[in-house]
Structure 1
Amino acid sequence: MEAARDGKAGSGPNGLAEGPAAEPGAGRLRGCRGFLRRNALVVLTVSGVVAGVALGAAVRGAALSPAQVAYLAFPGELLLRMLRMVILPLVVCSLVSGAASLDTRSLGRLGGIAIAYFLGTTLLASGLAVALGFIIRPGAGASGINAPRLGLAAPVPTSKETVDSFLDLIRNLFPANLVAAAFQTYATDYRMLPRNTTSGNVTWEKIPVGTEIEGMNILGLVLFALVLGVALKKLGQEGEDLIRFFNSFNEATMVLVSWIMWYVPIGIMFLVGSKIVEMEDIVVLVTSLGKYIFASILGHFIHGGIILPLIYFASTRQNPYRFLLGLITPFATAFATCSSSATLPSMIKCIEENNGVDKRISRFILPIGATVNMDGAAIFQCMATVFIAQLNNVDLNPGQIFTILVTATASSVGAAGIPAGGVLTIAIILEAIGLPTNDLSLILAVDWIVDRTTTVVNVEGDALGAGILNYLNEKEKKDKEQELKEVNVEAVANSKSEAETSPLVTHKNQVSNTSSTADPESKESVL
């Protein structure tokens, strides 16, 4: 009878075991459901990339017209428009609230560390690219490659003087009109004017002329937002209302970002699919420029997979790959959109929710990093410069190499966080070392391949920088708390002297010494 009762207790209504044997399977199922629930967006985003590749491969054989390809890319275009829509309020509000929430000393300290990190990693990236360029020699033996032979008709950017490029960078830091800075940026153009010489000949002189071109001046908006946040902090009580306004605006923008994030997998699928359909003859390009593509992607892999994680580990003594695992969604967005600015909303959301980075740190440093920290772009630009030099059989001397490193590091600060934004700055480097810019059409032809890993490394550098600053900030807080505890302990230890003891405070040793002579009512008066 006891055996029968045991048998009935171990089976359910359908005769299935419900005892301990069924618990491991049910536990695994619950764990799997919990994992999918927590990481649903990551799984959907990665699935969107895979589905986009499959969609592009399937539709590629249908010989779609340019209009039909544009229709195919329409859902992806909507994603880009939505992400760009929230960039302006996100950058301005997050920087104002972030600068206002940090005290001036912390702001200066964190800002100094961030600038040192950005410049140091970008310089390391530039040096790595030049070294790989001399080791792999992607342009050696490829002097016969040219754009007409490959059937390329890519437009070459107008060359600009190096001095004018850096002056434009400084001018954009101080926009003359904040409203216009939301959709226009300053750029120097040139006008040719005739000059009569004393001998009667006519010479043409190139005169720089200031123009406004389409594109958000994020650099100027970043500087203005930082200064405005510091000014509001200095106002004290009078600036609290405006600080609360920017904080509320920032939180509302993040709610919009969380809604947009659920559309990301669909948009990524059509972005990737349409880009694959647009390819004309990828085999010819890859075989002709394969060494350049391989060298660039290898540089991104080494810098993003080894150097940056090592810097993070050396600074925090924490696992960098576990930190990066929580950022798969913004990395996939960067890979699909090729835009650091468009990836900024998802990066801020994921780094706060998945990695626990302080909002004041992430919303202060990530918008700055998306504007000035371009490690991937520096690798891409230096590799392209070395490639073009080898293509033209030019042996770079130490002075030219130094010029490449400095110019690439400085010009990457002003590189636009948009697709193919880094190509425009390669012309600056080529002009600085005296190389022709007509071979840039080759770089533009394969830019859509290299630009994907470029953007991933750019946003990875921003994320790891935010993680390092968050760790240093938390460490400083703990050190301050420890100092306060030690001061309190010393105060209790030195309180034996009656002359230094406040009459309002009764210490334990004083209570014990006076308990024998004082009446019971005096024992209760402690403050």
Structure 2
Amino acid sequence: MEKSEMNGHAVGGSYSAVRDGASSTGSRGGWRRGCLHFLRRNTVVILTVSGVLAGMGLGAAVRSMHLSRAQMAHFSFPGELLLRMLRMIILPLVVCSLVSGAASLDTRSLGRLGGIAVAYFLCTTLLASALAIALGFIIRPGAGAEALNSNALGLQGTLPTSKETIDSFLDLVRNLFPSNLVAAAFQTYATDYKTILRNGTLGNLTLEKIPYGTEIEGMNILGLVLFALILGVALKKLGSEGEDLIRFFNSFNEATMVLVSWIMWYVPLGIMFLVASKIIEMDDIVLLVTSLGKYIFASILGHIIHGGLVLPFIYFAFTRKNPFSFLAGLITPFATAFATCSSSATLPSMIKCIEENNGVDKRISRFILPIGATVNMDGAAIFQCMAAVFIAQLNNFDLNAGHIFTILVTATAASVGAAGVPAGGVLTIAIILEAIGLPTNDLSLILAVDWIVDRTTTVVNVEGDALGAGILHYLNQKEMVQNQSELTEVRTEAVPNCKSEAETSPLVTHRNAASTASSPTDPDSKESIL
């Protein structure tokens, strides 16, 4: 009989028996602790995914009860609360995170990271638009569907006001520079038109469309983003005088993230009722899917290819890391995006999860994610280009190379200003159709299935933002390591060198020759390496 010591206590008995028993008990205890740790760490994720599934089941069950409009509004109240809480937190989160992020980065890093971010957003949006057009020509969702119209399907919807392409881009620039920051928190500038009757030179009457500016409901995130970035850079330039205000925005930002962590616990319940209420509100899903099934399939297939192959490949090409392990930590933001159909509403949970689960630097995530949620719309570009090709095929309109180029450029540029505008995606489709000379009366078909396609659209939008933040984090970390290695190499060791002491440069490293095999016995033999 031997004695073995476990946890500081003497235990008698066979050592092998004690060891086997301890290992089996330890393995069972370790497995149990591992499961508990996994459940504790991923509680919100599990509850959120369960909320989506429960919402589908609840919606299907309640749908057979044929609720009235008032009852449906009462039923969807918990989901409405979630949307209101998420939208409430967007303004302080965007402004404070961008001010603190821009102030924490030096001007050179800010310009470099900003340039990489703009190039990434532009290239991925162009790739998404090109993919949608290619799939549109391959699948041909509008071919053979010329008989489709909103009256035949019983569709009713308010079409967006037809807008000139030049006015759309001018509105984009105007919203970059809001005339009133307070008003920008809840209003967006938009051009509207009024028609007047004029007498011609020959006495004939002509109708003239006159543009004029209006303010529509919706936060002007684009203008707030630009102002916050410029304010952060200005505070950085002030030096010590701006430190107090920078600390204020940092504290405000951290307090906002605490609020986000509290809201996250309500997300599963809100998502369940959001999904259920949308299923209850569906009119005749079978008729829509059978009539517009090819368009729905083509759009969702484009989202799957871009989100499942193109974006992960770009991330892997830059970082040489597994993109799917990176995306696995963002299940909660993706579920939120699927339920809310809003990139801006998903922003709070995205910032929290990408920092805590994926370890992305706060300076990077809080700088790039608010910008990406406003200007990076890969999923929207696919949806808009596919809709333009669908409507062109619906009207037997042959798209030439010039039309395709116009769709690419217009969808890429106009998707930047889609955020903060009600029915922004459909409005952008109207701009594209006007640019290539197609009528906008078929947009009611797109509106009818927008709630289906818009869910995968938003997921791809936020995925592009997240992978962009991951790429920028990797490049920033890589540059920091290179800078540290350069500082390590450029040093002067404290070894006397009598022969060249007066000429020693701080950029010269002196190594003792004793450490080399060339002359181990000669103490005066030195090697100088730049």
TM-score by length of 1: 0.91
- Which digits, 9 at most, give the CA deviation of each residue in 1:369-423, with x for residues without a partner? 0000000000000000000000001110110000000000000111125774311
Closer/same/farther in 2, CA of residues 322 and 508 from structure 1, 3 Å limit: closer
Partner of 1:355: 358
Counterparts in 2 of 1:227-246, with a 5 A limit? 227-246=230-249
* 1:171 maps to 2:182: no
Q: Name the amino acid aligned to 1:260.
A: I
- Provide the C-alpha distance between the structure 1 equivalents of 2:492 and 2:271, rounded to a whole number of angstroms: 58
Closer/same/farther in 2, CA of residues 417 and 46 from structure 1, 3 Å limit: farther
Counterparts in 2 of 1:45-124, with a 5 A limit? 45-124=48-127
- Provide the C-alpha distance between the structure 2 equivalents of 1:209 and 1:21, rounded to a whole number of angstroms: 78
* 1:197 maps to 2:200: yes
- Provide the C-alpha distance between the structure 2 equivalents of 1:305 and 1:422, rounded to a whole number of angstroms: 22
Aligned residue-pair number? 498
Partner secondary structure for residue 157 of structure 2: coil
- Which digits, 9 at most, give the CA deviation of each residue in 1:468-525, with x for residues without a partner? 00000000000000101110158869786221469xxxx998xxxxxxxxxxxxxxxx
Partner of 1:421: 424
Partner secondary structure for residue 205 of structure 1: strand
Counterparts in 2 of 1:244-263, with a 5 A limit? 244-263=247-266
Partner of 2:5: none
- Provide the C-alpha distance between the structure 2 equivalents of 1:197 and 1:90, rounded to a whole number of angstroms: 54
- Provide the C-alpha distance between the structure 2 equivalents of 1:129 and 1:229, rounded to a whole number of angstroms: 37
Partner of 2:158: 155
Partner of 1:462: 465
The answer to whether the Cα contact below 8 Å between 2:130 and 2:408 also exists between their aligned partners in 1 is: yes
Partner of 1:518: none
Q: Which moved more, 1:194-203 or 1:257-266?
A: 194-203
The answer to whether the Cα contact below 8 Å between 1:420 and 1:451 also exists between their aligned partners in 2 is: no
- Which digits, 9 at most, give the CA deviation of each residue in 1:229-277, with x for residues without a partner? 0011111111111111100100000000000000000000000000000
Partner of 2:218: 215
Partner of 1:274: 277
1:28, distance to aligned residue in structure 2 (A): 1.9
- Provide the C-alpha distance between the structure 2 equivalents of 1:444 and 1:410, rounded to a whole number of angstroms: 22
* 1:381 maps to 2:384: yes
* 1:139 maps to 2:139: no
Q: Name the amino acid aligned to 1:393.
A: N
Closer/same/farther in 2, CA of residues 450 and 169 from structure 1, 3 Å limit: same
Partner secondary structure for residue 210 of structure 2: strand
Partner of 2:521: none
Q: Name the amino acid aligned to 2:219.
A: M
Partner of 2:439: 436
Q: Name the amino acid aligned to 2:77.
A: F
1:31, distance to aligned residue in structure 2 (A): 1.2
Closer/same/farther in 2, CA of residues 255 and 209 from structure 1, 3 Å limit: same
The answer to whether the Cα contact below 8 Å between 2:347 and 2:373 also exists between their aligned partners in 1 is: yes
Q: Which moved more, 1:480-489 or 1:438-447?
A: 480-489
1:163, distance to aligned residue in structure 2 (A): 0.2
- Provide the C-alpha distance between the structure 1 equivalents of 2:144 and 2:105, rounded to a whole number of angstroms: 55
- Provide the C-alpha distance between the structure 1 equivalents of 2:403 and 2:102, rounded to a whole number of angstroms: 39
Closer/same/farther in 2, CA of residues 229 and 283 from structure 1, 3 Å limit: same
* 1:40 maps to 2:49: no
Q: Residue 333 of structure 1 is aligned with which of 336, 340, 347? A: 336
- Provide the C-alpha distance between the structure 1 equivalents of 2:81 and 2:283, rounded to a whole number of angstroms: 24
Q: Name the amino acid aligned to 1:48.
A: G
1:70, distance to aligned residue in structure 2 (A): 0.8
Q: Which moved more, 1:287-296 or 1:199-208?
A: 199-208
Closer/same/farther in 2, CA of residues 409 and 18 from structure 1, 3 Å limit: same
The answer to whether the Cα contact below 8 Å between 1:370 and 1:417 also exists between their aligned partners in 2 is: no
Q: Name the amino acid aligned to 1:498.
A: E
- Provide the C-alpha distance between the structure 2 equivalents of 1:58 and 1:347, rounded to a whole number of angstroms: 31
The answer to whether the Cα contact below 8 Å between 1:420 and 1:448 also exists between their aligned partners in 2 is: no
- Provide the C-alpha distance between the structure 2 equivalents of 1:59 and 1:418, rounded to a whole number of angstroms: 32
RMSD: 2.1
- Provide the C-alpha distance between the structure 2 equivalents of 1:508 and 1:400, rounded to a whole number of angstroms: 67
Partner of 2:309: 306
- Provide the C-alpha distance between the structure 1 equivalents of 2:286 and 2:17, rounded to a whole number of angstroms: 64
Q: Name the amino acid aligned to 2:200.
A: T
The answer to whether the Cα contact below 8 Å between 1:341 and 1:418 also exists between their aligned partners in 2 is: no
- Provide the C-alpha distance between the structure 1 equivalents of 2:82 and 2:35, rounded to a whole number of angstroms: 30
Q: Name the amino acid aligned to 2:307.
A: G
Closer/same/farther in 2, CA of residues 495 and 462 from structure 1, 3 Å limit: farther
Q: Which moved more, 1:331-340 or 1:412-421?
A: 412-421
Q: Residue 321 of structure 1 is aligned with which of 299, 321, 324? A: 324
Partner of 2:485: 482
TM-score by length of 2: 0.91
* 1:345 maps to 2:348: yes
- Provide the C-alpha distance between the structure 1 equivalents of 2:75 and 2:182, rounded to a whole number of angstroms: 34
Counterparts in 2 of 1:174-189, with a 5 A limit? 174-189=177-192
The answer to whether the Cα contact below 8 Å between 1:420 and 1:447 also exists between their aligned partners in 2 is: no
Q: Name the amino acid aligned to 2:462.
A: V
* 1:447 maps to 2:447: no
- Provide the C-alpha distance between the structure 2 equivalents of 1:188 and 1:289, rounded to a whole number of angstroms: 32
The answer to whether the Cα contact below 8 Å between 1:495 and 1:501 also exists between their aligned partners in 2 is: no
- Provide the C-alpha distance between the structure 2 equivalents of 1:214 and 1:158, rounded to a whole number of angstroms: 15
- Provide the C-alpha distance between the structure 2 equivalents of 1:389 and 1:311, rounded to a whole number of angstroms: 31
Closer/same/farther in 2, CA of residues 404 and 484 from structure 1, 3 Å limit: same
Closer/same/farther in 2, CA of residues 310 and 194 from structure 1, 3 Å limit: same
- Which digits, 9 at most, give the CA deviation of each residue in 1:429-478, with x for residues without a partner? 00000000000000000000000000000000000000000000000000
* 1:406 maps to 2:409: yes
